């Protein structure tokens, strides 16, 4: 079960990526939970490190992961 801070961070990440891509948060969410499960396996798993970074860094990092996983 996700803790509140991790859930809030996941939403922050989804919305940040969506804003950067000019798409809906729902679309980004679906891409992040697809076959690669980037949301749990990367974003939540690395919460302790990622949440200390700037929004720009976090968004760029997630976009890099999404590209490497072939969901962009």
What was the pLDDT predicted at 1? 64
Residues 43, 54, 30, 38, Cα dihedral to 10°: -30
Domain that holds residue 59: 4-68
Q: What is the pLDDT of residues 3-25, one digit of tens each?
A: 899 999 999 999 999 999 999 99
Cα distance between residue 58 and residue 54, in whole Å: 6
What was the pLDDT predicted at 35? 87
pTM > 0.95: no
Count of domains forming the chain: 1
Q: What is the pLDDT of residues 32-64, one digit of tens each?
A: 998 889 999 999 999 999 999 999 999 999 999
Tell me the H-state helices in the chain: 4-21, 25-32, 38, 47-50, 55-68
């Amino acid at each position: 079960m996700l803790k509140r801070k991790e859930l809030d961070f996941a939403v922050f990440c989804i919305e940040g990526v969506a804003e950067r891509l000019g798409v809906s948060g729902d679309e980004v969410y679906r891409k992040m939970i697809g076959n690669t499960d980037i949301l749990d396996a990367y974003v939540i798993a690395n919460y302790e490190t990622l949440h200390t970074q700037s929004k720009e860094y976090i968004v760029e990092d997630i976009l890099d992961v999404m590209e490497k996983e072939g969901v962009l």
